[in-house]
Structure 1
Amino acid sequence: SLLAAARPDKVLKPASEVVKDSTLLTIRGLTAGYGKKNLQGMPMIRVLEDIDLTIRRGQAIGVIGESGSGKSTLARVVAGLLDPAHGSLTFDGADLSGTLAGRTEEQFRRIQMVFQ
Structure 2
Amino acid sequence: MDKYKKVINELIQFRNERDWEQFHDSKNLALAISLEASELNELFLWKKDSEVENVNHEKLKEELADVLSFAFLLAEKHDLDIFDIISEKIKKNALKYPVDKAKGTSTKYNEL
Q: What TM-score comes out, normalization by structure 2 length?
A: 0.24
Q: Which has the higher helix share?
A: 2
Q: Which has the higher strand share?
A: 1
Q: What TM-score comes out, normalization by structure 1 length?
A: 0.23
